[in-house]
Amino acid sequence: MRELTIRGRCFVAAGIAAVICGIQVGEHDFVRIGLLAAGVPVLSWLLIRRTQREVWVRRTLSATQVEAGEPAEVQLDVGCAGDRKTGQLLLEEALPAELGEPQRFALEPLGPGHQQTLRYLIRTPHRGRYPIGPVQVRVADPTGMADLHQDISSTGSLLVTPRTEPLPRIALTGRWAGAGDDRTRELVGSGSPDVTIREYRLGDDLRRIHWPSSARTDELMVRREEQQWQSRCTLLIDNRRVAHRGYGTASSMERAVSVAASISRALVDLDFEVRLVTATDDSSTHAEGFKGGAGMAEQLERLALLNMTRREQLSTGWVDESQQGGMIMAVLGHLQSTDRELMAGLATAGATAYAVVLDVSTWERAGRNTDHEEPPPTAWLRAHGWKATTLTRTGALPAAWQELSR
C-alpha cells in the first residue's frame, strides 16, 4: 500500500467496499465492478515492479566555490545501471531551501548502456556551505496508480563565499618581513646588517659563488638570494551579536563579512600577508597569516562559514607579541565602553591601525526607535591613534576605503 498513490489507494478502497456491498445486497454486478476497481491498482503495481529502474547518477558542478550572487551550473549524467530498458523516470534533486526549490526532471526510458545529461542553474543569494542532493528516482505507471522510488546517495557540496567589491589601491603602511635566506626582521630599527655573502652549502648553485670573497677568505662563498619583502596585516572582524543590528542577509553582520572579504582581497593584491582574526579567537594559532592563492581561498571559506557569537567581550587571545609593529585593520560594529580600552591598546601595538566602523543604527528595522543608539565611535578611535571611517547601510565601501588613506 505504501507504493500505491492516493488514487491507487482510493481505487482499492472503493473496490473492496463495492465487493462487500454487492455480496450483502446480492448484486453480482457490484461485485464485478469492485473486483475491477481493486484489480487495476494491483495490476499496475505488478507491472511497475517488473520495470527496470536501477540507474546511476554522476554530478558535476561548474565550480565548487562561487561568490554570493553568482550562479552555479549543475550537470547530472543519468544512465541505466541494469541490463533491461527502464521505464519512464521522474528525477528529483534535493536542494536546501536557501538555494531554491528541488529540481525535477522527466526522462524517457533508458536502454542498457545509455545515458542522458541534465543541467540546471543554482542561485546563491547567501554565503555558506550547502549540500547538493541526494537524487530521488521515481517510476510511475501511466494510470497514476502506483509510484516506486529509490534514493541515490550521491551528493555534492557548494561553498558560497561573501560578496566582494573591488577597492582602489591606496597607500598603507605595515611591518615588513623577509622571505629569503635571512630570518624575519624589521626594515627599521636596530636589526642585523643585511649580509649578502655567506659560506657555501652543499647543493648551492655554483653560479652563485662569489670568487673575490672566496679568494679573500680561502673558503667558497656564495651570494644570498634576493630578499622578498612583504608587509603584514592583522584583519579583525567583530562578529559579536551585541555589536550588530538587523536579521538575516539584511543585517549589519553580513555587511561586515562582505567588507572584511573585500578588504582581505585588496590587501593581498597590495602584497600584504593577511592574518584573519575574529572576536572569539583565543589563540594566535587559530589566526595564522596567509598569503595569496590558497591562503586567500582559506580566508574566504572561513568568512563564508563565520557565525555570530553571543560573547559580549572582544577577545585579546589572538594578540601575538611577535606581531608587534604590524598593521592592524578592524571591521567593527557597535563598541561598548568596555571595548574601548582594548581598542586603544591595539592602536599602540601596531605600526598603523585602521578601522571601518559600521553605523549599525542604519540597519535597524523601519519605524524602530534608534534614539538610544550611540553614534559610531569613529571620532573616539581617531582621538586614540586609529585611522577610522564610518560606513552606513547605503554607504559606498570604495569611498570609505579611500578615506582611510587621507
pLDDT tens digits, 318-366: 765 444 457 889 999 998 888 888 888 887 765 688 999 999 999 976 4
Name the domain count of the chain: 4
Tell me whether residue 253 is in a domain. Answer: yes
pTM assigned to the model: 0.73
For the chain, 406 residues long, give each residue's pLDDT as a single digit of tens: 777 888 888 988 999 999 999 898 888 888 889 899 888 888 888 877 776 667 889 999 999 999 999 999 999 999 988 788 887 788 999 999 989 899 999 988 888 889 999 999 999 989 999 999 899 888 777 777 877 777 888 889 999 999 999 999 988 765 444 344 433 333 333 333 344 788 887 777 788 888 988 998 888 988 876 545 567 888 999 999 999 999 888 899 999 999 999 999 999 888 888 889 998 876 444 444 544 455 788 889 999 999 999 988 887 777 654 444 578 899 999 988 888 888 888 877 656 889 999 999 999 764 454 555 667 889 999 998 899 999 999 999 999 999 988 7
- The domain that contains 332 carries what CATH number? 3.40.50.410
Tell me whether residue 12 is in a domain. Answer: yes
> Is cis: bond before 166, omega within 30 of 0?
no
Say whether both 236 and 218 belong to one domain: no
Say whether both 100 and 243 belong to one domain: no
- Torsion angle in degrees (nearest 10) through CA of 390, 339, 243, 309: 140
Say whether both 314 and 392 belong to one domain: yes
Tell me whether residue 69 is in a domain. Answer: yes
Model pLDDT, residue 47: 78
β 229-237/272-278 pair status:
parallel
Q: Give the CA distances from residue 243 to residues 35, 308, 314, in Å, rounded to whole numbers and listed in that order.
A: 71, 10, 10
48, 142 in Cβ contact below 8 A?
no
Tell me whether residue 292 is in a domain. Answer: yes
Say whether both 144 and 258 belong to one domain: no
- The domain that contains 90 carries what CATH number? 2.60.40.10
User: Who contacts 262 (Cβ-Cβ below 8 Å, separation ≥6)?
Assistant: 164, 165, 166, 167, 397
Say whether both 274 and 292 belong to one domain: yes
Domain residue limits at 124: 55-159
Tell me whether residue 68 is in a domain. Answer: yes
Model pLDDT, residue 225: 60
126, 79 in Cβ contact below 8 A?
no
Say whether both 34 and 85 belong to one domain: no
Say whether both 93 and 202 belong to one domain: no
Model pLDDT, residue 152: 86
For 182, counting Cβ atoms within 10 Å of its Cβ (0-12 exposed, 13-18 middle, 19+ buried), the class is middle
Say whether both 253 and 386 belong to one domain: yes
β 289-290/72-80 pair status:
unpaired
Buried b (16+ CB within 10 A) or exposed e, 284-302: beebebbeeeebbeebbeb
Model pLDDT, residue 128: 94
Say whether both 22 and 96 belong to one domain: no
Say whether both 388 and 247 belong to one domain: yes
Tell me whether residue 100 is in a domain. Answer: yes
Model pLDDT, residue 349: 63
Tell me whether residue 19 is in a domain. Answer: yes
Tell me whether residue 181 is in a domain. Answer: no
Say whether both 210 and 196 belong to one domain: yes
Say whether both 387 and 243 belong to one domain: yes
The CA R_g of the chain, rounded to the nearest whole Å, is 33
Model pLDDT for residues 222-263, shown as the tens digit of each residue: 887 654 556 788 899 999 999 999 988 889 999 999 999 999
